[in-house]
Amino acid sequence: MRAIRIHETGGRELLRVDDVEEPTPGPGELVVELEAAGVNFVDVYHREGLYPRTLPTTLGLEGAGVVRAVGDDRTGFQVGDRVAWADVAGSYAELVLVPAQRAVPVPADVEGRTAAAVMLQGMTAQFLSNSTYRLGSDDTALVYAAAGGVGRLLVQFAKRRDARVLACTSTQDKAELVRELGADEVILYRDVDVPTTVRELTGGEGVDVVYDSVGADTFDDSLDCLKPRGMMVLFGQSSGPVAPFDIQMLARKGSLFLTRPTLFTHIAAADELQWRANAVFELVLSDLLDIHVHASYPLPETARAHEVLESGTSTGKLLLLP
């Protein structure tokens, strides 16, 4: 079967289409025929070596497909079942070995590509708005990269919790998109001083929480947008990792909170994975989430998908198709 692997870390040119042996399920495992794999920044971090993995390795963590083999009769699944996942290494492949405890049943009325598009980013938006900082009607949130894959879902989750949303994005076209998703205000961050604009939009107070997936380029501005005792949620680093800083800065800026959460610690337990996935699927089934696939690419064009993701030009999800 074909799989997208790297034998050394670095740029997109190192992505290879390898012929590898088909997986065989052991106890508690499934072999799933891929319908679609999600492309995420964590895949780029693995490719670049920022998050080290043993090499050679097949990239990808997210996908959906149909069960083709089961390791034993205690998995809870059978051949023909439709499943999705968000944290299974080796998902850029025609067949994926999936631990049964990490597989989520896909509802009958949810297409496989939709399931692949919403698992990682949908659950990320869900835990950020419900668990990391539980938004409510008294809260104002600043969302960076609001037109991106997680951002557009996070705007929707925040509005469902009745929060006021200030959405940061880069172009007028993206601004229109996030307004349609419910953002109360849109900030074109390349054209204005973001902290000054946020203060103007909040009567000088600042926001309760900043959701920042950009990292190095926006970190300082994000802290300056917070009101005293506000929370900085750094959940990505598309512009690079944040440099070490003096933690006393948080005190000087108003007893701020800073957290660096990941989805994977929020779905480590099988029951929590099922709960968060079901919460997302319920919204999908009720047509209460706008799920947008920006583009789909065949597996051999993975480098192109990574290029689009890293360029910041995508508005929604990128998928790989077998």
Q: What is the pLDDT of residues 174-190, one digit of tens each?
A: 999 999 999 999 999 88
Q: Judge whether residue 283 has pLDDT over 90.
A: yes
Reference 37, options 96, 99, 125; nearest CA is 96
pLDDT at 99: 97
Residues 115 and 38 sit within 8 Å (Cβ to Cβ): no
**Domain definitions of the chain by residue range:** 2-119+268-321, 137-260
From CA 38, how far away is CA 319, in angstroms rounded? Answer: 5
Q: Judge whether residue 73 has pLDDT over 90.
A: no
Structure tokens at 29: 């495992």
Amino acid at the residue 223: L
Dump pLDDT digits (tens) for 77-87: 999 999 999 99
pLDDT at 316: 85
Buried b (16+ CB within 10 A) or exposed e, 249-279: ebeeeeebebeebebeebbeeeeebeebbee
Query: What is the CATH number assigned to the segment(s) 2-119+268-321?
Result: 3.90.180.10
Dump pLDDT digits (tens) for 27-62: 999 999 999 999 999 999 999 999 999 999 999 999
pLDDT at 123: 98
Dump pLDDT digits (tens) for 215-267: 899 999 999 999 999 999 999 988 888 999 999 999 999 999 999 999 999 99
Residue 201's φ and ψ, nearest 5 degrees, are: -80, -10
Reference 87, options 266, 233, 294, 239; nearest CA is 266
Buried b (16+ CB within 10 A) or exposed e, 205-215: ebbbbbbbbbb
Structure tokens at 31: 């072999």
Give the domain 137-260 fold: Rossmann fold (3.40.50)
Contacts of 204 (CB under 8 A, 6+ apart): none
Structure tokens at 184: 């109360």
pLDDT at 22: 97
pLDDT at 240: 87
Q: What is the mean pLDDT of the chain?
A: 96
Secondary structure of residue 104 in the 3-state scheme? strand
Residues 85 and 98 sit within 8 Å (Cβ to Cβ): yes
- Model confidence at 72, pLDDT cuts 50, 70, 90, reads confident
Q: Judge whether residue 70 has pLDDT over 90.
A: yes
